[in-house]
Amino acid sequence: MPETPLPLDLGELEGRRFVCADPCKLCCLCQPECLPREVDFFRQHYPDHLVLKNVPHRHYTLSLRKGQGACSFLHDGRCQVYEHRPHFCRQFPFHVHLGTRVQVELDLSCRGVWLDRGEDAVVHGLRLVRGNEAVIRRTLEEARSVYRQFDSNCREAGLDVDVARTRDQVLSRLDDMTDLRFIAALLESSVEDEGLDIPQLMARPELDSGTMEDLSRSALEMVTDSLAANELFQAPVYCPPDGSWNLFRVAGNRVERHLMDEEGDVRRIEERSLSEIALRQPEGRDRRLLRDYLRVLNGRDSLMGYAFYLLDDYDYEDPWPNVYGGVLSTSVLDLLWRCSLIASFFPGAKEGEWMREGVIFYDMDRLDAPTLGAFV
């Protein structure tokens, strides 16, 4: 009997192209997980390059230089096992998320998706899904059972979680979402007990100094969560057009910039006071880019899954729109703060460039966040 077609969404890929933009090699900093057949190959030919990990599940990855740098197969910017590189490396920057359907996301931290060159991303995404259909079908079933449990928990708690309606409500306010006055109101309402009404929410009348202080504090709380890594190599990496690997870490009231090389050696380059990195309202092309990015985020099942994960974490006690509104408002603040961070350390960006660089810095971390469902 023919199998039922996969419920597939490639909407994020429409209108995009992808080509690998040498020489960034940002993806070679992501320790690739190996499939069983890949483990067999590396065990046979390169046993010293395999590492067994037990979290979040038992799996093998390729080793990193000095346990912290780039993949041990990267030499002078070239992959030494290119023909045998793991599945993860082949599919990057595409990620397949499985929740109640199959959705292919594009990692916007990869510079190759900003060049408008190369292969049509929809064609690439479709090939990726077709080539991995068996594992996708298997994992989709597992993800659906997690979602069935989630739906049942929501019903028991009396929560009405309608994804399509929530997304439509956000889309109707997309322009407002790029306005810090609206983000301030969204953030404030999201922490109240009363259910948030996104379509009716009024922006703050103005951005007075108290509002800006509140926003900056919230942004800092968000980013210091990720930038206050104890282990430097766990700090977020920003790869500017020159292909260098910049690690940022918040230490006390300062932000440090470190450079990492292919050997896994790290040296501190400079630092700034946190007070020098001020949130600012995006305008013109930067603002339009933010709007486009928010449209992408709002359509991502993994972001929705992150909000579900938080709802579960809060024991289904918070109103659903407040949780999703909180996720969106803090995402905007995190992104805007990173834009300011980059503008501070890499001045001279033209209009439109600082938002693009902020998204490049932010998106890989965004996709790393916990989610209900799974990436394959």
Instruction: Output 17 or 25, the one with its CB closest to ligand SF4.
Output: 25
Instruction: Output 28 or 201, the one with its CB closest to ligand SF4.
Output: 28
Instruction: Output 107 or 301, the one with its CB closest to ligand SF4.
Output: 107
Instruction: Output 73 or 316, the one with its CB closest to ligand SF4.
Output: 73
Instruction: Output 107 or 188, the one with its CB closest to ligand SF4.
Output: 107
Residues near ligand SF4 (CB under 6 A): 20-21, 24-28, 32, 62, 71, 73-74, 79, 81, 85, 89, 92-93, 110-112
Report the alpha-carbon distance of residue 281 to residue 203 in Å, rounded. 14
Report the alpha-carbon distance of residue 170 to residue 100 in Å, rounded. 21
Q: How far is the CB of 339 from ligand SF4 (least distance, A)?
A: 20
Instruction: Output 260 or 328, the one with its CB closest to ligand SF4.
Output: 260
CA distances to 242, 307, 359 from 88, in Å: 24, 26, 22
What sign does the CA torsion over 234, 240, 244, 250 have?
negative
Q: How far is the CB of 236 from ligand SF4 (least distance, A)?
A: 15
Are 86 and 76 within 8 A, CB to CB? no
Report the alpha-carbon distance of residue 368 to residue 373 in Å, rounded. 13
Instruction: Output 61 or 218, the one with its CB closest to ligand SF4.
Output: 61
Provide the b/e sequence for 263-290 (b: ≥16 CB within 10 Å).
eeebeeeeeeebeebebeebeeebbebb
Q: How far is the CB of 221 from ligand SF4 (least distance, A)?
A: 29
Instruction: Output 109 or 216, the one with its CB closest to ligand SF4.
Output: 109
Instruction: Output 115 or 202, the one with its CB closest to ligand SF4.
Output: 115
Q: How far is the CB of 284 from ligand SF4 (least distance, A)?
A: 27
Which helix (H) or strand (E) segment is 121 a member of? Answer: helix 121-131
Q: How far is the CB of 330 from ligand SF4 (least distance, A)?
A: 26
| Both tokens assigned to 145 | 């059972």
CA distances to 74, 90, 220 from 29, in Å: 10, 14, 25
Q: How far is the CB of 73 from ligand SF4 (least distance, A)?
A: 4
Q: How far is the CB of 240 from ligand SF4 (least distance, A)?
A: 12
Report the alpha-carbon distance of residue 102 to residue 99 in Å, rounded. 7
Report the alpha-carbon distance of residue 359 to residue 366 in Å, rounded. 10
Report the alpha-carbon distance of residue 82 to residue 91 in Å, rounded. 13
Q: How far is the CB of 342 from ligand SF4 (least distance, A)?
A: 17
341 CB burial (10 A radius; 0-12, 13-18, 19+): buried
Q: How far is the CB of 351 from ligand SF4 (least distance, A)?
A: 24
Amino acid at 168: D
CA distances to 117, 194, 202, 323 from 197, in Å: 41, 9, 10, 12
